[in-house]
Amino acid sequence: MSTDQNNTEENTSQENTVQEKRLRKIRSFVLREGRMTPGQQRGLDTVFPKYGRSVEQGAVELDQWFARSGSQRVLEIGFGMGASLLEMAQAEPDVDFIGIEVHKPGVGHLLNDAIKADVTNLRVYAEDAVEVLNQCIADQSIDRLQLYFPDPWHKKRHNKRRIVQPEFVQTIRNKLKIGGQFHLATDWENYAEHMMEVMEVAEGYVNNQGEKQYTPRPDWRPLTKFENRGHRLGHGVWDLIYRRES
């Protein structure tokens, strides 16, 4: 092989590596930490060591983490300040809930409220959801995965940052049990259409309501204060539920 050919292949390899790194750096979220309140800090300092885990701890054994087996497992990505996730955990004490949120004030807020409410069926990660799914959550271990009101990245040039993309929904599929459900919700009609477009052709999924149909809000998803305000202003909310068939 000639030196020129070697150099060409080396340059191509370097370019591919740079491209891969650039793609890995694309994030579906922006960190806006802000200042911690005393309650939020208390949640992180005193409750997280018991109810939280990090990616660095590696794969989690859910029966051990929740100290019980046989329960349904629900995982929510991006729970914000955690009010609706806490409400769900309180409403279904026999179900185990896992929340993932990158914004630490929200994690601290949820944990502080959970301990005050004596909620024990809730665990959290303060990490990038993609890293948690890839490194910590076993395949076919989740009964329902929830993605409520993710950042819509509504400007067209930012659409690539939307978390709902073909590769991502296949990662979700791997974590769901057969028959498990992927529940999405958004208050941006354009994003709802994008979600539908991605999910309708996603391998291994079936729309619970039928082809290209949205679903009425299920009882398990609480109405948030922002959603209630949106309803008063005439804004729409779109729910989509797909189950893993294969």
Show which residues are catalytic: 151
Question: 83-91 and 104-116 are packed helices; what angle lies between their axes, rounded to 10 degrees?
Answer: 30
Cα four-point dihedral sign 51, 56, 62, 64: negative
Closest CA to 100 of 28, 203, 166: 28
Annotated ligand binding at 12? The verdict is no
Residue whose pair of structure tokens reads 């994690």 in the numeric block: 107
Annotated ligand binding at 226? The verdict is yes
Annotated ligand binding at 151? The verdict is yes
Paired sense of beta strands 122-125 and 96-100, if any: parallel
Annotated ligand binding at 104? The verdict is no
- Amino acid (one-letter) located at 62: L
Annotated ligand binding at 76? The verdict is yes
Annotated ligand binding at 56? The verdict is no
Annotated ligand binding at 227? The verdict is yes
Annotated ligand binding at 29? The verdict is no
Closest CA to 80 of 193, 235, 224: 224
Binding residues for S-adenosyl-L-methionine: 76, 101, 128, 151
Binding residues for substrate: 155, 187, 224-227
Binding residues: 76, 101, 128, 151, 155, 187, 224-227
